[in-house]
Amino acid sequence: MEFFNPHLYDLSNAELWVAVGLIAFFVIVVLAGVPKLVAGQLDARAARIQSELDEAARLRAEAEALLAQIRQEKAEAEAQAAAMLEAAEADARVMEAEARAKLEETLKRRQDLAERRIAQAEVQATAEVKAAAADLAARAAEQILAARLAGQKTDPLLDDAIAQIGSRLN
């Protein structure tokens, strides 16, 4: 309780003058408006920080909206890619069916052509065999006739066979 000590209020006491100087300093500071200045600067700094926080919140909201839009576009792109893949697979199946039908048609045409060629070859071979048989029969008939003319003999069986050769060859 130094405050109640009478020696404290002696004008030669240095502690008294320090206390008076300190009180005068605080009065001058208050009268000069330093607390308002400090409070104004603190308020300005708080407002600046608040505006930076608001800007950060706005940027975050924009980023979240952009992220949502990108995710939606990604989902749409994936869906579009899946649809394109399905369409490509369907086109491939159609092309495969068309190719298979064309291949079967080509094979059938080639088979028909081969069968026609075989039939023509058979007809030609039959004609060649008939011609060879007719030629052989004509030579045999010529030899028989030559032998008959040489011997002037008539053989009724031979005459019937020669008569039948002409009808059998046709």
Using CA atoms, how far apart are residues 91 and 84, in angstroms rounded to an integer?
A: 10
What's the chain's average pLDDT?
87
| Residue bearing the bigger pLDDT, 35 or 56 | 56
pTM as predicted: 0.41
CA contacts within 13 A on the Cβ side of 121: 6
**Domain count across the chain:** 1
Specify if 87 maps to a domain. Answer: yes
* Structure token pair of residue 98: 């068309």
- Enter the DSSP assignment of 4: G
Would you place residue 165 in the very low, low, confident or very high pLDDT band (cuts 50, 70, 90)?
confident
Note whether residue 47 is domain-resident.
yes
The dihedral sign for the CA sequence 31, 37, 40, 42: negative
Q: For tokens 């490509």, what's the residue? A: 88
Per-residue pLDDT band at 34 (split at 50, 70, 90): confident
Has residue 121 been placed in a domain? Answer: yes
- Choice among 69-78, 100-109, 147-156 with the minimum mean pLDDT: 147-156
Q: What is the pLDDT of residues 120-157, one digit of tens each?
A: 999 999 998 988 888 888 888 778 777 776 666 566 67
Q: How far apart are CA 58 and CA 3, in angstroms?
A: 58
Residue 165 included in any domain: yes
- 111 in a domain, yes or no? yes
The verdict on residue 18 lying in a domain is no
Is residue 4 included in any domain, yes or no? no
Range of the domain at 125: 33-169
In a domain, 7, yes or no: no
For the chain, give the number of residues. Answer: 170
pLDDT value of residue 136: 86
Q: Give the Cα separation of 33 and 26 in Å (integer).
A: 11
Q: Where are the alpha helices (DSSP H) in the chain?
A: 14-32, 34-151, 156-169
